[in-house]
């Protein structure tokens, strides 16, 4: 798509604010160096963010001579952002201040069979209402709600086009949510959300090329290429979980056989355990979280079944990650989401060994493989940045006296 001057200005405003959030307090000169923008452009954008009360002046840095440099910092109380993580087994919602500190959190469990769109929307609406009440923020302070939903999504129309684990096709998710939530809404998926969270605050920060492997019920890869989020031609990049790992292997929800997800997603890990030891007390047939927790405890206790299941899972995962290393040549691969966090260092060690057996030597030597260091839900955090991006875009549209398209959900009903 051809980018307009307004698009470029919005992107620059977003990048300047991102740097301020990451480096508060900072000077205009430091922002120019970090973003590659001219000092004059940075000064103008900083002025706009000051007018919006998203940032504030915080004095001057010490100077050994010459004119002191004025410092700016994010105004944490200048607004609130909400991130929504819709996963296959839960809905998690977090409310953040503008410095992206968590102020409130709410969880809603989703039991098997509760994945109809209207049921999911009900869980989201309940959790959003809960975090707003917990934080005690006024509705006018909520700049937006970023919503992450598994599968392929159309950000512009707000449609969840395809979620294979739920058999969703062309669900108008934002339209359904708008009936219950009065704040601006912005849609994407967890691959992009995790990648942005790691780029802003996590293991991908400071890198130009990174892969964030999302290990949960579903599996995928968020891509950071050339220092920015890579979406692909139809916002579908990163569906690595649906690449073929085993010819004629396990049937996947997407309809194909042998997909990566069927061996290293939580249900796939449960099947690995069931095939190895059908009567194992580690297996909780209807509870993914309990099974993964039990495996983690078993590995810590050196239970031979748990150790072998994690090792076998890592073999599959390592082969798949080696393909990403060979194709994309990233500087860092980050293991993210709840399965990676639960299995932790034992999984990481086995994955590193497996990748080393399959990846080419030169790209492997340039790649670190690490666990996500983000202490909160990375999907909620990344989704909140989508709301921030949308809020800044809305500001640009209003400043140009243009009518805001209905899809951007920028005005709560009166």
pLDDT digits (tens, 9 = 90+) for 128-138: 999 999 999 88
d(CA 315, CA 352): 10
- Find all residues with CB under 8 Å of 218, minimum gap 6, and list them: 88, 150, 151, 165, 190, 241, 261, 265
165-202, pLDDT tens digit by residue? Answer: 899 999 999 999 999 999 999 999 999 999 999 999 99
- Find all residues with CB under 8 Å of 388, minimum gap 6, and list them: 14, 17, 81, 98, 143, 144, 146
Residue 37 host element (H or E): none
324 has pLDDT over 50? yes
205-249, pLDDT tens digit by residue? Answer: 989 999 999 999 999 999 999 989 999 999 999 999 999 999 999
Is residue 241 within 8 Å of 165, Cβ to Cβ? Answer: no
Q: Which residues pair with 142 in a beta bridge?
A: 80
409 has pLDDT over 50? no
Banded model confidence at residue 5, pLDDT cuts 50, 70, 90: confident
Is residue 242 within 8 Å of 261, Cβ to Cβ? Answer: yes
Instruction: Determine the pLDDT at residue 396.
Output: 59
Residue 14 host element (H or E): helix 5-23
d(CA 3, CA 178): 28
Terminus-to-terminus CA distance in the chain, angstroms? 35
406 has pLDDT over 70? no
DSSP line for 62-98:
--SSSSPPEEEEE-GGG-EEEEEEE-SSEEEEEEEET
Residue 260 CB-half CA count within 13 A:
24
């Amino acid at each position: 798509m051809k980018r307009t001057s307004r698009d470029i200005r919005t992107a620059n405003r977003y990048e300047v604010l991102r740097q301020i959030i990451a480096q508060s307090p900072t000077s205009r000169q430091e922002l120019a160096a970090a973003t590659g923008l001219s000092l004059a452009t940075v000064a103008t954008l900083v002025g706009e963010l000051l007018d919006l009360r998203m940032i504030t002046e915080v004095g001057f840095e010490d100077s050994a001579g010459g004119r002191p440099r004025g410092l700016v910092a994010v105004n944490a109380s200048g607004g609130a952002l909400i991130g929504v993580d819709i996963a296959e087994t839960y809905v998690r919602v977090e409310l953040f201040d503008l410095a992206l500190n968590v102020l409130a959190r709410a969880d809603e469990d989703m039991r098997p069979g509760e994945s109809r769109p209207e049921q999911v929307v009900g869980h989201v609406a309940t959790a959003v209402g809960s975090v707003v009440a917990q934080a005690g923020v006024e509705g006018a302070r909520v700049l937006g709600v970023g919503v992450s939903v598994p599968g392929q999504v159309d950000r512009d129309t707000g449609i969840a086009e395809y979620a294979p684990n739920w058999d969703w096709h062309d669900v108008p998710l934002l339209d359904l949510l708008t009936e219950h939530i009065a704040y601006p809404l912005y849609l994407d998926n967890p691959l992009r959300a995790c990648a942005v969270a790691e780029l802003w605050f996590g293991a991908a920060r400071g890198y130009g090329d990174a892969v964030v492997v999302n290990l949960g019920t579903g599996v995928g890869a968020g891509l950071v290429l050339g220092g920015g989020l890579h979406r692909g031609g139809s916002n579908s990049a990163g569906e690595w979980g649906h690449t073929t790992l085993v010819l004629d292997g396990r049937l996947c929800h997407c309809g194909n056989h042998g997909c990566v997800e069927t061996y290293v997603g939580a249900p796939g890990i449960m099947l690995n355990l069931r095939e190895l030891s059908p009567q194992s007390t580690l297996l909780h047939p209807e509870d993914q979280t309990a099974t993964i927790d039990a495996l983690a405890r078993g590995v810590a206790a050196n239970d031979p079944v748990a150790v072998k299941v994690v090792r076998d899972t890592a073999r599959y995962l390592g082969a798949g990650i080696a393909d990403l290393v060979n194709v994309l040549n990233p500087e860092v691969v980050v293991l993210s989401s709840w399965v990676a966090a639960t299995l932790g260092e034992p999984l990481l060690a086995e994955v590193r060994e497996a990748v080393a057996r399959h990846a080419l030597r030169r790209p492997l030597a340039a790649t670190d493989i690490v666990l996500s260091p983000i202490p909160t839900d990375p999907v909620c955090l990344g989704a909140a940045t989508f709301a921030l991006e949308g809020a800044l875009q809305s500001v640009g549209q209003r400043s140009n006296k243009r009518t805001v398209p209905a899809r951007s959900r920028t005005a709560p009903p009166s």
